[in-house]
Amino acid sequence: MSGLERRLTIALPSEDFETQITERLEDARGRVRISGFRPGKVPLKEVRRRYGNAVRAEVAGELMQSSFVSAVQQEELNPAGSPNLEVVKMDPGIDFEFTATFEVFPSIELGDLSQASVKQPSAEITDDDLEAMVERLRTQRTTFEPVERPVAQDDQVKADFSATRDGEPVPGTEGEDVEFRIGQGQMIEDFDTGVRGASAGETVEFDASFPEDYSAEDLRGATVQFSVTVKEVKEPRVPQLDDEFFKEFGVEEGGEEAFRTEVRDNMQRELDNAVKNQLKQQVMDELEKLHDFQLPHSVVHREIHALKDQMLGQFQMPNQGQQPELPDELFQDQAEKRVKVGLVVNEVIGSQSLQVDEELLDVKLNELASQYGEPEQVIRWYRSNPEQLQNVEMGVLEEQVVDHVLSKAQIELVESSYEDVLSGAAIASPELEEDSAEDVDTQAVTETEPADRADEPS
């Protein structure tokens, strides 16, 4: 048929088909209860009259499934999904015949991997990088203590407020016991300016203009009159580099030197992982570009639904009513790319006869287990769960595929900084660098915490 679709017509001898039906009816004869007949004494003719059509359909369904498997093996076909089975002939006295329509996986010819081009970012962790990270970790654990003085920059303020325009209340501009920090962009700039200098218990009134790009369209560029009652003023207290602080990161001994060593080691791991992940992503992108072949619609369809489930799982809580119907088109391109790359990766594995490297598997299991309190128990769990272990093995095989492609590809070494490598700006196109750079601080701070990473699963 067209494209990757195939149709098999499969025929089974009438004798075999009818024999199985008769055997099934004989078995039923000893178990059925029919009024007017003693148990086990119901005539076969009566059983056939009552149940023959249902048993014929049941046997036909089972035979179609089993004979389809034998047929595709005989014809050396590789189905990409479940077949659509349709009965052609099923009457008594003639051969049982049906059709099976299905898609096959495409035959893939690997492209010239030497045409793959990737950028390999490279960076060293400098003393300035380490110092910046230490300061981020301190800032992240900032506490706030009440003070009896006017509001100043960086203070945390609790306040009640409301706004009017031309004497009328402005919806969406009121709040009670709202906490915010001065100068952190949590409130509009004029609001911060108006609150500065006020003390707890004081009410201040001032004009404030909303920016032109404000999220609420009806307030963009508008000037309103705010009334703000300051209820509490707290100043930030950044923790000192002491033993109590170090213990929060799992450093019990060795003081500041041991803490800085731990932080640097964590930063190096994050740097190495960022480089590895960026190389892997580029390799997968290049494999997608280098190959062009028809994709099985059934596999793409399954991938679309997997992506839908993944999105719904991320943004919706379970058991909260009807799930929204997301259009397939929203996921089409991503699903097609994932299917194509997956097929190419499998072809590389097969063509190169790649087997799971046991040393790499041990490393991967240790990495996964290190995030938990009892790593040895976690490793045993993976080893005793074939399905979970297979997922890890596939990840290792993918890394081996990446290494194989990199051994053939054109690699451009890109010298950069620690932050630019982590953010992706080191290898990003110029128009994306600014956006990427904005994410580095949060990523670096949240992903470089030994204590937290040890206690939480990925």
CATH number of 113-131+252-455: 1.10.3120
- pLDDT at site 431: 52
User: What confidence score (pLDDT) does residue 64 get?
Assistant: 94
- At residue 434 the predicted structure's pLDDT band, cuts being 50, 70 and 90, is very low
Q: In this predicted structure, what is the pLDDT of residue 27?
A: 82
Reported as a pLDDT band with limits 50, 70 and 90, residue 314 is: confident
Report which of residues 80 and 25 the model is more confident about: 80
Q: What pLDDT is recorded for position 441?
A: 35
Secondary structure of the chain in the HEC alphabet? CCCCEEEEEEEECHHHHHHHHHHHHHHHHCCCCCCCCCCCCCCHHHHHHHHHHHHHHHHHHHHHHHHHHHHHHHCCCCECCCCEEEEEECCCCCCEEEEEEEEECCCCCCCCHHHCEEEEEECCCCHHHHHHHHHHHHHHCCEEEECCCCCCCCCEEEEEEEEEECCEECCCCCEEEEEEECCCCCCCHHHHHHHCCCCCCCEEEEEEECCCCCCCHHHCCCEEEEEEEEEEEEEEECCCCCHHHHHCCCCCCCHHHHHHHHHHHHHHHHHHHHHHHHHHHHHHHHHHHHCCCCCCHHHHHHHHHHHHHHHHHHHCCCCCCCCCCCCHHHCHHHHHHHHHHHHHHHHHHHHCCCCCCHHHHHHHHHHHHCCCCCHHHHHHHHHHCHHHHHHHHHHHHHHHHHHHHHHHCEEEEEECCHHHHHHCCCCCCHHHHHHHHCCHHHHHHHCCCHHHHHHCCC
Q: Tell the residue number behind the tokens 């203590």, with chain if given.
A: 145
Which one is predicted more confidently, 42 or 349?
349
Q: What are the backbone dihedrals phi and psi of residue 30, each rounded to the nearest 5 degrees, phi first? A: -80, -10
Query: What CATH class is the domain 5-103?
Result: alpha beta
For the chain, the domains span: 5-103, 113-131+252-455, 143-237
pLDDT score at 51: 84
Q: Tell me: the pLDDT tens digits for 253-299? A: 999 999 999 999 999 999 999 999 999 999 999 999 999 999 999 99
Q: What is the mean pLDDT of residues 97-113?
A: 95
Give the C-alpha separation, 244 to 410, whole Å.
49
Q: What is the pLDDT of residues 336-367, one digit of tens each?
A: 999 999 999 999 999 999 999 999 999 999 98
Q: Which residues contact 242 (CB under 8 A, 6 or more apart)?
A: none
In angstroms, the Cα distances linking 145 to 156, 181, 236, 237, 280 are 9, 13, 7, 7, 46
This prediction's pTM:
0.75
pLDDT at 433 over 70: no
pLDDT for the residue 430: 60
Instruction: Give the pLDDT score at 449.
Output: 37
Average pLDDT, the chain: 89
d(CA 61, CA 67): 10
Q: What is the pLDDT of residue 93?
A: 85
- 113-131+252-455 shares its CATH topology with 143-237: no
Q: Is the pLDDT of residue 128 over 90?
A: yes
User: Which two tokens mark 247?
Assistant: 């213990």
* Average pLDDT, integer, range 249-253: 91
Q: What is the pLDDT of residues 412-421, one digit of tens each?
A: 999 999 999 9
Architecture of domain 143-237: Roll (3.10)
pLDDT of residue 320: 52
Position with higher pLDDT, 446 vs 85: 85
Q: What is the pLDDT of residues 288-304, one digit of tens each?
A: 999 999 999 999 999 99
| pLDDT for residue 322 is more than 70 | no
